[in-house]
Amino acid sequence: MSDKIPVTVLTGYLGAGKTTLLNRILSEEHGKRYAVIVNEFGEIGIDNELVVGADEEVFEMNNGCICCTVRGDLIRIIEGLMKRKGKFDAIIVETTGLADPAPVAQTFFVDEEVQDNARLDAVVTVADAKWLTERLKDAPEAKNQIAFADVILLNKTDLVNEAELEEVEARIRGLNPYARIIRTVKSQVPLNEVLDRGAFDLDRILQIEPAFLEGEHHHEHGEACGPDCGHDHHDHDHHGHDHHDHGHGGLKHYHDEFIKSVAFTIPGDVDPNKFMPWVQELAQREGQNFLRWKGILSFKNEPRRFVFQGVHMILDGDLQREWKPGETRQSKLVFIGKELDEEMLREGFEACAA
């Protein structure tokens, strides 16, 4: 057991603060080496570029739905990592905000080679104190992420008052009385609270989901699967999901057919004097529909990359590292949400070109 590599599964709904936590883990002085596996929703990869200082150790699982690629990509990446044993001390898997953590956790119990070499240390869920209550009503993934957690960071406590915090905490407790809840701002937590916990409790999970160890993973949905998943793909331009449940023991796995992602790239610079007013106006007008929007932008005459972040109408952004020599300066923007008007967004973004 002791020489098995601990794996932390980091989950939480779109924009909750997973990458913020991951960056905290990777930048803190702890003398440990982590291998990071990220799973993205959307065709233009941005998430792995937002992870700091971990260039060679970030492995990307593309194409959305982790529950379909779980048998392929995740196992392949972990097996590859096992061949480099000794080079790192632990593995962190950051799932997309729309992933259900069950099949990810399952991988560590049903694949023999993975099971021999790695152990699931804990499922850590980051929850957005401001939006979680809403998402528990309309996003079943959010519910499963809470139900499966061993540790829950109740993040963004700066955006709500004490009464709201108690309300959201009570809702979390209603779904999961066992997890440790830690209130945080900017995912700031002592790392020993989230890493090397030995917290994953198989017995508890078997109570929620009796079929957990059976390895079968039947489900239906229309899109966002890995290349080898064999599902019907009817809408290749977007990553939307059908709203069906996956037969999977006690907990059901849903995907929301209305959520899709669109992404745009401008091959060059953007003018911040056009971009900033545009996103502010867009946030006011359409923010309700944008679960998550983010981008990496090349501003004219600016040597550093501007990283833009949005969760509904809350916007954030800062200049981060410099563009590297030889790196293509371009501007990318991704929207994940409902009722996205792709043409309007494309035209609006393209009008921001410098």
Ligand X SMILES: Nc1nc2c(ncn2[C@@H]2O[C@H](COP(=O)(O)OP(=O)(O)OP(=O)(O)O)[C@@H](O)[C@H]2O)c(=O)[nH]1
CB of 213 to ligand X, least distance (A): 28
Per CB under 6 A, 183 contacts ligand X: no
φ, ψ of residue 183 in degrees (nearest 5) = -80, 135
Instruction: Annotate 36-62 with DSSP letters as a single string.
Output: EEEE-SSSS--GGGGSTT-GGGEEEE-
Minimal distance in Å, beta carbon 25 to ligand X? 12
Could you tell me how far CA 200 lies from the centroid of its own chain? 19
Count of other CB atoms within 10 angstroms of residue 216:
10
User: How far is residue 284's CA from residue 268's CA, in Å, rounded to a whole number?
Assistant: 27
Question: Residue 155, interface with ligand X (CB under 6 A)?
Answer: yes
Residues 311-330 that bind ligand X (CB under 6 A): 311, 316
Looking at the Cβ atoms of 114 and 153, the one nearer to ligand X is 153
Q: SS3 of 294, please?
A: strand
In the numeric block, the tokens 């099949």 are attached to: 103
Q: Is 287 in the site for ligand X (CB under 6 A)?
A: no
Considering the rule CB under 6 A, would residue 260 count as an interface residue with ligand X? no
Which range binds ligand X by CB under 6 A, 104-112, 153-161, 168-176, 249-257? 153-161
Q: Exactly one of 5, 16, 149, 152 binds ligand X (CB under 6 A); which one? A: 16
C-alpha distances out from residue 31 to 80, 88, 115, 351, Å? 23, 10, 26, 46
Decide if residue 6 touches ligand X (CB under 6 A): no
Q: Does 107 bind ligand X (CB under 6 A)?
A: no
Residue located via tokens 């779109």: 14
- 28 near ligand X (CB under 6 A): no
Does 187 contact ligand X by CB under 6 A?
yes
- According to the binding rule CB under 6 A, does residue 47 interact with ligand X? yes
- 14 in contact with ligand X (CB under 6 A): yes
Rule CB under 6 A: is residue 292 a binding residue for ligand X? yes
Residue 158 is a binding residue for ligand X (CB under 6 A): yes
Burial pattern 123-154, b for ≥16 Cβ within 10 A else e, equals bbbbbbbbbbbebbeebbbbbbbbbbbbbbbb
Catalog residues that contact ligand X under the rule CB under 6 A.
Answer: 12, 14-20, 47, 97, 126, 155-156, 158-159, 185-187, 292, 309, 311, 316
